[in-house]
Chains A and B, each alone.
Chain A
Amino acid sequence: MIRVLVRRFLADYARNGTNLFVLVLVPVAFVVAAAPALADAARLLGGQGGAPAIEAVTAGWASAFIAALAMYFQVSAGRDTDRRLVLAGLPGRRLAQARVLCGLAIASLASAAALLALFTTTGVTNAGRVIAGTVMFAVIYLGIGAVVGSRVRNPVNGTVLILFVWILDVFFGPTLSGSTELISRALPTHFVSLWMVDVPSGHEGRLGDLGWALAWSAASAAAALVVLRPPGHAAARRTLAAGSRPDQLLAALRTGVREWRRNPVLWVLLAVVPAVFVLLADAITPSGSTPVVLNEGGTLVTRAMDPAHMHAGTMAPIAVASLATLAGLFLALDARSGDQRLALAGMRSGTLAGARLTVVSLAATLATAVSLAVTALVFDAHQWVLYGMANLLVALTYAFVGVIIGPVLGRVSGVFVAFLLPFLDLGIAQSPMLRGAPPGWAEVLPGYGGIRVLTDAALTSTFDETGYLMLGLGWLAVLAVGAWIALRRSSAVVRPRSRSAARGPLPTHRAHAHA
């Protein structure tokens, strides 16, 4: 059955003459025409492997691009028909396999065209490695094309998104830019491009560069199989009882997230605040030496640290907390009026407050992720996972502070305090940049425990601050309860006496007399 499907899908693809033309023309043009210019660019940017490496990798880039676009259009154009096939009885798993195999066939053709152009124009020394690398490029981007195709319906948006990912991957990849930054290691073809040109990455770990490349390829193919499987019969879907607590929670969450992501201020702040706080802090801090009290294996030691090295890392939580406080503040204020009406219509106030807190937490997590991504450009923490978690702890703490102060202070004063409070607590009271250890009065502030954990994670290689972690979590729990109560109160409904089955008229009152 799969063979028939693949054959039909391929025929559908090939019957558009432009597809075949592009399938051959783009890889050939890219390898023949663009490779020399890219080799020059790589020389300027310090790319690894030199000009021969760039020429070899262009075959991979070309096949990756074609594979992603072919998969995207295959998925987005066939979405409704695929659904119909499944409704007619075709197992969704089989259909997904056929789509992936069809994509692989197209990617193989693109790879073959690119490799043929490469072999005829340049002298390739390790043909087997280049061929395997090119195929892995195609498979990785096949998954990207499938994921984008399953989520983005508009072809302009879809192709622009794929192009954006591909450009980032090519221009910030190790063979063109020579970048060894932590963030560039997460690019899809970072490891496969280095393995393809036989340049060890130096950070491949036990898995090795080939292992990472194969893992990316396998994960990408698996992701394609998952996203390409159309949903089955609608009747098979589990539905929640209308008006039940989980039903209301899900509805409030869904619309809450939707409304929040449509807030343009959020996106501007996400783009501006981390960049301004973290990158500027890194740029303006001169080198020197400052004492910092650290916990090393349970013993407090004072170490001399370079402010220029650690300032960005200590500034990240301030950016995170400011964004999170604003997120909590705006959400509490924006939702207040509508939430009260929603509660009057029957939405449970406690459930609604829970949904709002979840949305605030998601916004705080997003702010943390963005700030960490910016921070990773200029700062390398000793324990990245713990450092990220500590930032998240601080973000959630201040997000709940924002929810609490919103109804009390209003929008204008609230925004002012949302910047001031994290700055005073995290930037002045707790900052290891200003003094070796926080003063006594700083210990009663909400950021104390979180920043002690964060400093330990940023500047030492072992975790020794369990007590402070507990303190930070305690603050978080208290503020979460406070924020929940504040939200619940803002949408509370006064319950009147109600009669479930009134049969007779109430006692007549003089004000009830009919006109």
Chain B
Amino acid sequence: MHATSELTSSKRVVLAARGIDKAYKRGPWPARRMLPVLADVNFSLRQGEVVGLVGENGSGKSTLMKILVGALAPDAGEVERAARLGYCPQTPQLYERLTCDEHFELFGHAYGIDSRREREARHSIYVALGFERYARVRVSQLSGGTVAKLNLGLALLADPDVLLLDEPYAGFDWDTYLRFWDLVAERRISGRSVLIISHFVADEERFDRILDLRDGRTVPR
């Protein structure tokens, strides 16, 4: 863990979740039952923190991430955020017949950034993740690794204060994996926060803190 983690406690909270409950309905009516996934989850992320959220398959990591970004409503509890979020979902949610360039352009409009800034950000993302030569290739024709880079790149486009990444490096080769951590380190230095969800953590020293998601609750490691 980073030695600076003690200092971050004095920094402002940029994302917080309190008392989050979530259960999924399973089975047809009248035999329907509720499958609880999250129970009274409390979580906060401070400015400049890199936090890992780890849990085994089916522990509710992606559910919590979706609730944090607003893709899913919790059954109970509340989410509070004080910054712009960049979200990289586990399954790339992309348009099969649009190119990488066209994705960046479209998401630039969604983020509300002007076209000059969008082009500059796009270029730096291409360079940082090394996939500029696929700029004009449609998603349906990209390899899995390049799709993962585009997926991450769209989350980075607006230079968000908080980056929420769900299994971001699943399709990366070793070189891209290292580049990814360089990007995370740069963001940390500039005061940006990063939450990374993964089913395992290989390099614990890269995080300020790690939370385990067990029995529907977050537990500090």
Contact = CB atoms under 8 A, between A and B. Distances in A.
Are A and B co-members of a single complex? Answer: yes
Contacts of B220: 511, 513-515
B106 A494 contact: no
B82 interface: yes
Interface stretch (A17-25, A37-45, A240-248): A240-248
Given A338-B95, A341-B93, A496 B12 contact: no
A167 B87 CA distance: 53
B35 interface: no
Interface string B129-149: 000000000100000000000
Interface stretch (B1-9, B170-178, B179-187, B191-199): B1-9
B102 A255 contact: yes
A511 B93 CA distance: 31
A514 B209 contact: yes
B18 interface: yes
Contacts of B1: 515
Contacts of A496: 70, 78-81
B30 to A, nearest CB: 22
B93 A338 contact: yes
Interface string A324-357: 0000000000110110111111110000000000
A440 interface: no
A344 B71 contact: yes
B97 A259 contact: yes
B33 interface: no
Task: Give the interface size class of chain B.
Answer: 35 or more
The interface centre, meaning the residue of B72, B94, B107, B113 with most chain A CB atoms within 10 A of its CB, is: B107
Given A334-B96, A340-B93, A242 B112 contact: yes
B44 interface: yes
B105 interface: yes
Contacts, number: 149
B57 interface: no
Determine chain B's interface SS by DSSP, over half rule. mixed
Nearest to A512: B44
A505 interface: yes
Nearest to B85: A344
B40 to A, nearest CB: 9
A242 B115 contact: yes
B126 interface: no
A507 to B, nearest CB: 9
A497 B82 CA distance: 9
Given A263-B97, A340-B93, A502-B12, A248 B110 contact: yes
B212 to A, nearest CB: 10
Interface in A244-287: 244, 247-248, 250-252, 255, 258-259, 262-263
30 contacts: A242-B112, A243-B110, A248-B110, A251-B105, A255-B98, A263-B97, A337-B93, A344-B69, A344-B70, A345-B158, A346-B158, A493-B70, A493-B71, A497-B80, A498-B81, A498-B82, A500-B82, A502-B14, A502-B82, A505-B9, A511-B42, A511-B44, A511-B217, A511-B219, A511-B220, A514-B5, A514-B6, A514-B8, A515-B1, A515-B211
Interface of B: 1, 5-6, 8-14, 16, 18, 41-44, 46, 67, 69-73, 78-82, 85, 87, 89, 91, 93-98, 102, 105-115, 138, 154, 158, 208-211, 217-221
